[in-house]
Structure formats: structure tokens, C-alpha cells
A and B are shown apart, each in its own frame.
Chain A
């Protein structure tokens, strides 16, 4: 345990960890700091950690505003219940951290913003290969259902998934899907030592995955983008130079360039560096700059063949956060 951790242990702070529309991977990553979790326990009273400790919502509701020192909040906001929890945790916490890709950018569930509630419900409950045609009454989940014994309630599922900062004011961001355990520990130490960057910052380095990648690099000149199943790349050279759409050149470092180490392109889960407003646009312009052609028709062909799904490729993790945010609802209706 560091000296600062030991000092803070004397005056225990209050820590909350909460999850909204997420997968639980952030929690597994927190637990992967292994025995250091005991240091966290020494420094903080954990007032809420749905995956790991006691504490319930009613207790938090009864606390004075600002009673929690730090809240690590993961998951996006998709339902009325998650929205309520975001507002509650904001009110009760001095420092609110958007923890991981879902809370920061919307992550993969944010791709749901290409559809709306009706489309999602129709696909899941009506047209799913194993529900249709065995849903004779064409049932959909309802916010309120009257059963013989009484009324049952479900939270409202919204048309749009929002990031945490589109719902409440956020103090800091921790990137990654999920954040790597080493970076979680670094962030916790920064909090304990009071060495936090200015409000609104992303806690992490401000370089790119390429800077951490050990592959050899030359001048990038791409004549053709390949899908991952179309070529077997060698393990020495830059994956992008071999024609694979590796997001490393525009993605924030800090993971240690893990995916390229197993011969897979970076998929951009760490999001953009500081000052980038729209990660997808940044990725797109980075890719455009390595295309080796000045002929508009040829460029069109290179993009069409190699990048058949620009939204899912460039906005894989960041659609909800982007300037686009979602597909136009009127366009869906038509």
C-alpha cells in the first residue's frame, strides 16, 4: 500500500460504484486489481457496490447531498430507472466519474441508437427466430401490467441510449471497455492522493495505441482495406499498413496495445484523445489520410469494398456520444 493510501485510511472516505445499462465487465475489471481491493476497502467505506458489497438505493436516498466522496458510475442510460439512478448518484456524490466506455460514450449498446424502441421491441419480441410465430397475442413488455394478483411494473425503455454526461454533470472520465485493471488502480491512487486533473478531464495518457504498439511502421499507403476474415496478417508489421482497419492511430493509449499483440486490430474501445469532439469523425479522417489515391472514384471504391458499415466501424463505441447521437427518428418511421 502506498503512503498516501495509508494516510487516507485514517479518514475514510465514502465510495460508491454503480452500474446502469452495462455488462458487468467493469466490475470484473475492478475485481481484477486483486488484493489491492483490500487497500480500497481500507481507504473507503464502500456505501454501494451492487456487485461486491452491501448498500441499497434507499440508504443512498436518505444521505445528505454530497455525502459520497467518489462515485464510479458505469453503464449508459436506457431506462427511466437508470436515469433516476444517475440523477441520484450525481446529487449524493462530490465527484462523479463516468467509468468505462458505456458511461463515457455509450459503447456497443449505443449502436441501439440506429433504431428506436418500437424497432427493438419488434425484433426481440415479434420477429425473433424463436419467438415468432409463437407470440400469438403479439405481447410486448409493458410499464404496467395488471395480473390477477395485482399490478406489476417495469421501468420505461427509452428510444435513445444516453451517455452519463448527457443525463447529469460528470466530473471525470475513465476510458476503456472495460478499463484495464492497472488503469483503474492508477485512477484510484490519483483520487486518494488528491492528484486529479481539472474537472472534465479523462483520467489517462494522451497518446495513441500506435505509440504503444511494437509493430514496425512505414509510411502508410492503403490501396485496399481488408475485412479481418479476408487476410492473415503477419505478426511484425503495422496492421493498418497490411490493410486491416486498425483504430490504433486515433485511439487513446493506456491499454498497452493489447489487441494488436494477439494479431487483431484495435477496435477503438479506449475512445479519443483530449480535444476530440467526435471520435468517429476523427477516425474517419485518419483513415482517409492513409488512402493512397487522389481519384475520387477510386477512393469511393476503396471505402465501399473495405468499409461496408461506416457507422458500426467508426462509431462502434461512440455513437451515443457523437455529434450524430442517433439515427433520425422520422427516417426510421419511414
Chain B
């Protein structure tokens, strides 16, 4: 039996490792994606005061602390049986829209975009953000940096800090915004809408007008017909902050629509002895292994999944793009994993439009951004759509609000099984009879999991937009037969 180890060096020896096993004929027998790290928040948060959770759980992920902060805050609303006033809800959603626009920008320009904008077959040295700039124009770098900086400064203005805000409370937020701040937020939001439109135009011109890229997106290597999960509002449109969780089947039909509080009726987590990260699946369908199809409980929770699980977008420009998306790709649902990049840009536009809507809302500067809970805390669930998947926080406390039980299903965790499957399929398509394809294989494998923007400790959050990879092909005695690498010194 031969083995190929792929170490994503950017977070290797720490946060992710792929082992590919070959059968005697040299074809891919199986692939294991291992997550070699655990911190145990569900255990050590027990005994803490519940109100600390927005701050404690932000430390699960420094890339999306805003998602944990708000999922925790919503769980506290539920736990303390308090309904925050409209201004509070709108402030939280405004804050979250700013975060989304900032985070999606980083992914498209630094991480996912280079594959398409520069090209999947371009020399590796150009397949990075510098290559994007060279192709699209120098002013893009300035626009991307400005978008990121503006986002972080507004997050700090509202939540206190750029990373790890200290703002959410049961019943609201610790401080509102005044008219001067509102004007600043709205002005930056209008620029964000223009930036999102520009980004979609870039995608249109450089990707969709290129037959080869379209073929790659719609090709078989990256297709997985799984269930899709996302949060929707009362009109079944995509929402990041609140609503019901909706799951559609591989055929696009609604499998379930539920309040986050009922998540245990729909989602279960499988434990495998070879990874510290669990594998969630749809409980009513059941775990059938690492396979897709209507009988397998494997589901995806990504930008693409959210579009598939919804009936549309809640803002006009994003809705137009949503319609174009499905028209171009042949109707709903879309199962082409690489289309996730396009879906992410449509979400970027929605986030920016919603940012402006909320900033222009007369209630946003209201003085009632917080009410005090009066009931005894018991048990609560809160969920938001993290950029990398549906994020669920579930707490129980004693009557003083001291935590007795904590359960968390984190964004990327939802996609643990599908990412493994995508990597396996890419490997199977490219490794035949033990003969590995050099650079093509590396980039194709890399693209398979980069589409998910996985956050195994931010595996793909590389600034230059390139993930150093090494593939080692060993014979059955463990001797190195072949070694391929990219971006390694």
C-alpha cells in the first residue's frame, strides 16, 4: 500500500494534514483529512458566568471572532429569555454585515481569486494577490487594503476592538452609535457596495468570459451532490444574522426548516479516532460514510450552500446577481464546489447593500440599544451564519447564570466530511496508476479545499494567496518514491 501525505504547510504541524492511500494498482484507495488540534472550550467554559461567553468564545477563532461573539450573544438572549429592542438587533446585524464584507473580500482577493483571475494554469509564482493586481490593475491593491482597513476600523468603533470585540450582552449591546458615527458607517458602506459591484465585474470579465474557466467550474472533478444548509429569513431569503435554518436535498427540495433551538433533532456529530475534529451529519438521513447523494447525511454549509438553501437574496442588486448565477450554471441547486467563489461575491454584495440599508435606518441611532433581562436563566441556543458555515452555540446554566453545559458546532466543522470528499475526488481524478501529476495535481487539490475557505486554524488565510503544499509519495516500506512541492523554499 502506498501513501501520499499532503501537508498544507501554512498550517502544517499544527492544524491540518491529508493522507492519501493508494491501492496495489496505484489508484487512490482512500483519503484522510486529519485535524491534529483541540482546545476543549465545551469543557472549560463550564463553571464560568454565561455573560462571559461572547468574550471567551471569540477566542475560538481570531479570524471570525465576530461570528462567535454574536452567536454567543444570541444564545444569551435565549438563555435569559430576553428579546432585544429593534435598535439592538439592527446594530448587531449592521456590525455583522461590515464583518462579512471585510472577510469575504480577503478571501476573494488573497485566497480564492488568484486561481481564476490569474488562472489555474498560470505559473505558480503569479498565482497570488500580486498576480491579481498585475492582471486587474494597480489600484485594486489600494481598494482591497482600504476595504479591509475600513471594515476593521468600523468594527473597532462599534465593538471596541478590531479583533475580539467586547460588546454583546443579553438583551442588546453595550453601546450604540451617534449620528456622526452613523454617517461615517453609511459613507463607507456606499463605497463597499461599489467595491462589491466592481468585484463581480472582475469575476464576470475574467472568469465567466473564459471558456476554460467555466469548463473547470462546471467540470466533474469538483461536483458533490450533498445536502445544503443555510439560514433564511421569513421569505426564505439568505440571512447571516437571524432566521431559521433551512436544509435542502441534493435535488433542491426542502429537507428541513427549523429554529436553531431544535438543532439536535436535525444534526448529529460523528467521532473518528483519527481526527480531533468531529464530523456533523444530518441525523434523520444518517451517517453512511464519506459519500454524497440523497441517502448520505453529509451536508455542506458554505456561501454556495446558503444560496442553494434559500429562494433568493433580500437586496435588489444581489438578487439580480443571484438570478444570473443560477441561469448561467443551469438552475438550482448548483453542486459545483468551485462556484462557491462566485456565490461568495454575491454574498459580499448583499452584505454591503444591507450594511447601507441598516446604516440608513432611522432606528439605528436609537437610544434603546439594550434592555435588562428579568427572568431566571435556564437554557439557550444561538446561531448565526459564520462565513464558513452555520455556527451554533448551546448553553445551559444554573439559576445564577453559571454555565453547566456548553455545546458548539463551529462553521468549518460542518464541512469536515465534504472537504475530505472533495480532496479525495480531486486526488482520484489526477492520480492514476500511481502516476502523480506534478503542478496540476497540487493546484487542483489545493483548489478543492480552498473553495470552502476552511478555518482549521485559518488554513487558507494566507496573505499572499498561495498555500505551500508538499506531496510525498511513499512505497509500502515508507521509502520516498517521488516528492512534489510548490511555494517551498
**A interface list, Cβ under 8 A from B:** 19-29, 31-32, 34-35, 37, 50-57, 59, 78-79, 81-82, 84-85, 107-109, 111-112, 114-115, 119-120, 123-125, 128-131, 134-135, 139-142, 145, 147-150, 152, 154-155, 157, 177-178, 180-181, 227-232, 235, 255, 258-259, 261-264, 267, 269, 308-309, 311-313, 316
Question: Using Cβ atoms and an 8 Å threshold, which residues of chain B touch A51?
Answer: 10-11, 458, 461-463
With an 8 A cutoff between CB atoms, is B180 at the interface?
A: no
For B1-30 the 0/1 string (1 means CB < 8 A from A) is 101000101111110000101000000011
Asked if residues B59 and A108 are in contact (CB atoms below 8 Å), the reply is yes
Question: Using Cβ atoms and an 8 Å threshold, which residues of chain B touch A34?
Answer: 145, 148-149
Asked if residues A125 and B278 are in contact (CB atoms below 8 Å), the reply is yes
Question: Using Cβ atoms and an 8 Å threshold, which residues of chain A touch B3?
Answer: 149-150
Asked if residues A258 and B409 are in contact (CB atoms below 8 Å), the reply is no
Closest chain A residue, CB of each to CB of B48: A312
CB distance from A61 to the nearest CB of B (A): 11
Which residues 145-160 of B sit at the A interface, judged by CB distance below 8 A? 145, 148-149, 152, 156, 158-160
Known contacts A54-B487, A230-B372; A25 and B9 CB within 8 A of each other: no
Which residues 443-468 of B sit at the A interface, judged by CB distance below 8 A? 455, 457-458, 461-464, 468
Asked if residues A177 and B59 are in contact (CB atoms below 8 Å), the reply is yes
Asked if residues B273 and A264 are in contact (CB atoms below 8 Å), the reply is no
Asked if residues A141 and B276 are in contact (CB atoms below 8 Å), the reply is yes
Which residues 361-400 of B sit at the A interface, judged by CB distance below 8 A? 370, 372-373, 394, 400
Which residues 60-88 of B sit at the A interface, judged by CB distance below 8 A? 60-63, 65, 76, 80
Q: Which of A109, A150, A154 contacts B276 (CB 8 A)?
A: A154
Asked if residues A81 and B156 are in contact (CB atoms below 8 Å), the reply is no
Question: Using Cβ atoms and an 8 Å threshold, which residues of chain A touch B458?
Answer: 24, 27, 51
Report the separation of the CA atoms of residues A313 and B47 in the bound assembly, to the nearest whole angstrom: 11
Question: Using Cβ atoms and an 8 Å threshold, which residues of chain A touch B7?
Answer: 56
Asked if residues A308 and B461 are in contact (CB atoms below 8 Å), the reply is no
With an 8 A cutoff between CB atoms, is B112 at the interface?
A: no
Question: Using Cβ atoms and an 8 Å threshold, which residues of chain A touch B19?
Answer: 150, 152
Asked if residues B49 and A50 are in contact (CB atoms below 8 Å), the reply is no
How many chain B residues sit at the interface, stated as a range, is 35 or more
With an 8 A cutoff between CB atoms, is B55 at the interface?
A: yes
Q: Which of A53, A54, A227 has the most CB of B within 10 A?
A: A54
CB distance from B65 to the nearest CB of A (A): 7
In addition to A131-B269, A228-B51, 17 A-B residue pairs with Cβ atoms within 8 Å of each other are A23-B61, A24-B458, A26-B62, A34-B149, A50-B11, A50-B14, A54-B488, A112-B43, A115-B43, A129-B405, A155-B36, A178-B164, A229-B372, A258-B161, A259-B160, A267-B166, A269-B164
Asked if residues B59 and A35 are in contact (CB atoms below 8 Å), the reply is no
Asked if residues A78 and B39 are in contact (CB atoms below 8 Å), the reply is yes
With an 8 A cutoff between CB atoms, is B481 at the interface?
A: no
Question: Using Cβ atoms and an 8 Å threshold, which residues of chain B touch A129?
Answer: 264, 394, 405, 407
14 residue pairs of the A-B complex, CB under 8 angstroms, read A20-B14, A21-B39, A28-B163, A31-B463, A32-B152, A56-B468, A114-B47, A123-B42, A131-B269, A131-B270, A134-B268, A229-B401, A309-B49, A312-B49
Report the separation of the CA atoms of residues A109 and B405 in the bound assembly, to the nearest whole angstrom: 17
Q: Which of B47, B401, B409, B455 has the most CB of A within 10 A?
A: B47
Top 7 A-B residue pairs of the complex, sorted by shortest distance between their CB atoms: A25-B62, A149-B21, A120-B40, A52-B463, A23-B62, A262-B160, A129-B407
Known contacts A51-B462, A229-B170; A85 and B42 CB within 8 A of each other: no
CB distance from B83 to the nearest CB of A (A): 14
Report the separation of the CA atoms of residues A255 and B163 in the bound assembly, to the nearest whole angstrom: 12
Question: Using Cβ atoms and an 8 Å threshold, which residues of chain A touch B489?
Answer: 54-55, 59
Question: Using Cβ atoms and an 8 Å threshold, which residues of chain A touch B394?
Answer: 129
CB distance from B439 to the nearest CB of A (A): 16
Q: Which of B152, B166, B372 contacts A231 (CB 8 A)?
A: B372
Asked if residues B13 and A35 are in contact (CB atoms below 8 Å), the reply is no
Asked if residues B36 and A85 are in contact (CB atoms below 8 Å), the reply is no
Report the separation of the CA atoms of residues A39 and B402 in the bound assembly, to the nearest whole angstrom: 47
Report the separation of the CA atoms of residues A313 and B49 in the bound assembly, to the nearest whole angstrom: 9
Asked if residues B163 and A109 are in contact (CB atoms below 8 Å), the reply is no
CB distance from A19 to the nearest CB of B (A): 7
Binding site secondary structure of chain B: loop
Closest chain B residue, CB of each to CB of A157: B38
Known contacts A25-B65, A155-B36; A130 and B268 CB within 8 A of each other: yes
Report the separation of the CA atoms of residues A92 and B145 in the bound assembly, to the nearest whole angstrom: 33
Question: Using Cβ atoms and an 8 Å threshold, which residues of chain A touch B12?
Answer: 50, 56-57
CB distance from A81 to the nearest CB of B (A): 6
Asked if residues B457 and A228 are in contact (CB atoms below 8 Å), the reply is no
Asked if residues B10 and A308 are in contact (CB atoms below 8 Å), the reply is no
Closest chain B residue, CB of each to CB of A152: B274
For B249-270 the 0/1 string (1 means CB < 8 A from A) is 0000000000000011001111
Report the separation of the CA atoms of residues A258 and B275 in the bound assembly, to the nearest whole angstrom: 38
Asked if residues A109 and B39 are in contact (CB atoms below 8 Å), the reply is yes
Q: Which of A50, A107, A259 contacts B161 (CB 8 A)?
A: A259
Q: Which of A108, A109, A134, A178 has the most CB of B within 10 A?
A: A108
Report the separation of the CA atoms of residues A134 and B285 in the bound assembly, to the nearest whole angstrom: 13
CB distance from B229 to the nearest CB of A (A): 14
Asked if residues B166 and A259 are in contact (CB atoms below 8 Å), the reply is yes
Q: Which of A112, A235, A264 contacts B40 (CB 8 A)?
A: A112
Question: Using Cβ atoms and an 8 Å threshold, which residues of chain B touch A269?
Answer: 164
Question: Using Cβ atoms and an 8 Å threshold, which residues of chain B touch A32?
Answer: 149, 152, 162-163
With an 8 A cutoff between CB atoms, is B119 at the interface?
A: no
Q: Which of B29, B276, B405 contacts A157 (CB 8 A)?
A: B276
Q: Which of A128, A157, A228 contacts B42 (CB 8 A)?
A: A128
Asked if residues B62 and A142 are in contact (CB atoms below 8 Å), the reply is no
With an 8 A cutoff between CB atoms, is B326 at the interface?
A: no
Q: Which of A28, A114, A258 has the most CB of B within 10 A?
A: A28
Question: Using Cβ atoms and an 8 Å threshold, which residues of chain B touch A142?
Answer: 273-274
Asked if residues A262 and B488 are in contact (CB atoms below 8 Å), the reply is no
Report the separation of the CA atoms of residues A59 and B488 in the bound assembly, to the nearest whole angstrom: 9
CB distance from B249 to the nearest CB of A (A): 21
Question: Using Cβ atoms and an 8 Å threshold, which residues of chain B touch A55?
Answer: 9, 468, 489
Q: Which of A124, A148, A308 has the most CB of B within 10 A?
A: A124
Question: Using Cβ atoms and an 8 Å threshold, which residues of chain B touch A228?
Answer: 51, 169, 174
Asked if residues A130 and B263 are in contact (CB atoms below 8 Å), the reply is yes
Question: Using Cβ atoms and an 8 Å threshold, which residues of chain A touch B214?
Answer: none
Question: Using Cβ atoms and an 8 Å threshold, which residues of chain A touch B463?
Answer: 31, 37, 51-53
Report the separation of the CA atoms of residues A81 and B55 in the bound assembly, to the nearest whole angstrom: 28
